[in-house]
Structure 1
Amino acid sequence: MKKYLILCFVVLFISFQTGAQETPEQLFSLGVEAYSARQYADAMRYFSTIIESGYASGEVYYNMGNTAYKQHNIPLAILYYEKARLLIPGDEDLLFNLELAQSRTVDKIEPLPLLFYERWWNSFLIFLPPGGWAILSLGVFALSAVLFLVYRFISGMTLRKVGFYGFLTGMVFFLLTVVLSVASQQQLTAHKHAIVFAPSATAKSSPADDSIDIFVVHEGTKVEITEHVGEWVRVKLGNGSVGWLKSKAIEVI
């Protein structure tokens, strides 16, 4: 009987604890309220809890970046703005805040200029968030299928022509959206970037402490990771400079 009562108490306690836990939506609302009240430590705690629970989104990352910026933690703000940009790449407020945070970093690195077709292609990729092109491609495919059925089964000549040429046009757009969907996903996974968190870090010519110093970067600078060797990572700056940094000096986006 005693064991039974203890078991019931444990079950009720666990149930109470589970029911008392806030949902991600509730935590997000609490975080926004805390941010509006300038209680930035509380806001950071609420948003961090959401991320640790595996419910992160572009909006959560964006608000984490805003909160970190208000706490004057520029590298952390840039890290979360960059995370948000992977999920909501065309958000104007996000891009403005990211640029504002970057203006407060020590390093002013001018990126290599892109060719016109690279700029054109990138503008297409960020037109929709990741997964958006995949959803659009499914919609275009469904519409093309309907137009094909119109061409195949409707007897009127005018409607058959509309169905036929609409189907061909739809398939062209379908293939284009599939290519953009694949390219968008590859852009997320093919290149791994990071933000420098060390106040300053010296890039070496090789993964060794006694190798030649190449350049120095400071907190908040974005780098591209191209190789790992032990505790070292080979990084590339936006201006094309390449060197080796200790992995503890950076945080991966």
Structure 2
Amino acid sequence: MKQIFAILLLACIFSGVRGSGPRDWLEEANRAYTEGDYATAIEKYTQIIDSGYVAAEVYYNLGNAYFRNHRLADAILYYERAKLLSPRDQDILFNLELAESYVKDNIEELPRPFFTRWYFAVVRALPPAVWGWISLGAFILAFLFFSLYLYLHRPGIRRWSFRLAVVMLLFSVFSLVFAREHYGLIYGKQRAVIYQPSVTVKSTPDESGTDLFILHEGTRVTLEDEMGEWHEIRISDGNKGWVPGEAIRVI
């Protein structure tokens, strides 16, 4: 279904283009994938992305081709990029979880208090843009209720108008906070995928640093700092260290 949708979408965008182009590459990529020629599918999907066309469907299809071609790190990388564009897509989430089940590193996340888990569940419930529109709508309602409070003279209506204005104003503020928080979760600190079969994480940004631990292909990390060709990374259990730049691919 995703492949058909992507074909139709690209057909509309590139209907005026003659000769070989993204539309032709997508058709060739989908045909190659169906026939089990995953190397050709990877080549064509990559050509589409390199041409400047960015879509969750293309990243997702490329991730599938890499997964079928037994290239785990690349598969996770492109599933993650697809997830950035379509964070609630169930197919993307399912295939990403499936690919991660093949990663050697089983890292447990730091436990979070119940309130923190509940808070971030609410933040992730809606995209940042939707939270932003809700905030704007609540602010407009707060303004209208406050106007009623100022210009009406009946005590009962004025009292309820003032209360509703305060509630809507608070709701607007919280919605705006949720929008900023969700945006930060998506586009804040950069994340990356370990790209080599294994890499030794160092205590300092050089080969002479103390060996801290080993990470394997496909493990996701958060980028904390950069020094020359080295990157400081943090894994989900809170441990940090330095790895060379060629050992990772930024999501």
Contact 1:78–1:101 (CA under 8 A) maintained in structure 2: yes
Match of 1:56 among 36, 54, 57: 54
* Contact 2:105/2:216, CA 8 A, preserved across alignment: yes
| Separation (CA, whole Å) in 2 of partners of 1:26 and 1:169 | 54
Q: Residue 73 of structure 2 is aligned with which of 68, 72, 75?
A: 75
**Residue 217 of structure 1: which of 215, 228, 246 is its match?**
215
- The answer on 1:84 being equivalent to 2:45 is no
Q: Does 2:248 match 1:237?
A: no
- Which stretch has the larger CA shift, 73-82 or 148-157? 148-157
Does 2:176 align with 1:178?
A: yes
> Unaligned regions of 5+ residues in structure 1, if any?
1-17
Q: Would the alpha carbon gap of residues 158 and 70 (structure 1) be closer, same or farther in structure 2, given more than 3 Å must change?
A: farther
Change in 2 beyond 3 A, CA 1:143/1:20:
farther
Hey, what's the Cα distance between the residues in 1 that align with 2:54 and 2:159?
Answer: 47
Moved more, 174-183 or 34-43: 34-43
Q: 1:168 to 1:49 in 2, by over 3 A?
A: farther
Bigger-Rg structure (1/2): 1
User: 1:160-205 CA distances to partner (integer Å, 9 max, x unpaired)?
Assistant: 7775544433222211111011112222343221100111111112
Q: Out of 88-97 and 36-45, give the one that drifted further.
A: 36-45
Which stretch shows the higher mean deviation, 22-31 or 194-203? 22-31
Q: Helix, strand or coil: the match of 1:131?
A: helix
Q: Choose the corresponding residue for 1:121, options 116, 119, 122.
A: 119
Query: Which whole-Å CA distance do the structure 1 matches of 2:22 and 2:159 have between them?
Result: 51
Tell me, yes or no, if the aligned pair for 1:194 and 1:223 is still in contact at 8 Å: yes
Q: How does 1:155-166 map to 2 (within 5 A)?
A: 164-166=162-164
Residue pair 2:128, 2:178 contacting (<8 A) in 1 also:
no
Q: Contact (CA 8 Å) 1:151, 1:163: kept in 2 or not? A: yes
Instruction: Tell me by how many angstroms 1:62 deviates.
Output: 2.9
Change in CA separation of 1:121 and 1:30 when aligned onto 2, cut-off 3 Å? farther
Q: Shift of residue 46 of structure 1? A: 4.8
| CA–CA separation in structure 1 for the residues paired with 2:153 and 2:21 | 55
- Are the aligned partners of 1:89 and 1:126 in contact in 2 as well (CA < 8 Å)? no
User: What corresponds to 2:9 in structure 1?
Assistant: none
Determine the structure 2 residue equivalent to 1:110: 108
Kindly report which structure 2 residues correspond to 1:21-40, keeping only aligned pairs within 5 A, or say none: 35=33, 38=36, 40=38
Question: Could you list the per-position Cα deviations for residues 138-163 of structure 1 after superposition, in whole angstroms to 9, with x for gaps in the alignment?
Answer: 33334445555666678998877775
CA distance in 2: counterparts of 1:176 and 1:21, whole angstroms:
51
- Aligned-partner Cα distance in 2 for 1:54–1:124: 34
1:207 alignment partner AA:
P
Identity %: 36
Counterpart check, 1:98 vs 2:96? yes
Q: Distance in 2 between matches of 1:122 and 1:197?
A: 29
In structure 2, the CA distance between the partners of 1:248 and 1:151, relative to structure 1 (3 Å rule), is same
Tell me which residue corresponds to 2:18: 20
Instruction: List alignment gaps of at least 5 residues for structure 2.
Output: 1-15
How far, CA to CA, are the matches of 1:34 and 1:127 in structure 2?
Answer: 37
Secondary structure, aligned partner of 2:17: helix
TM-score using structure 2 length: 0.76
Instruction: State how 1:130-145 maps to structure 2 within 5 Å.
Output: 130-145=128-143
Aligned to 2:224: 226
Provide the aligned length of Structure 1 versus Structure 2.
236
What is the alpha-carbon root mean square deviation over aligned residues?
3.3
Aligned residue for 1:168?
166
Moved more, 78-87 or 229-238: 78-87
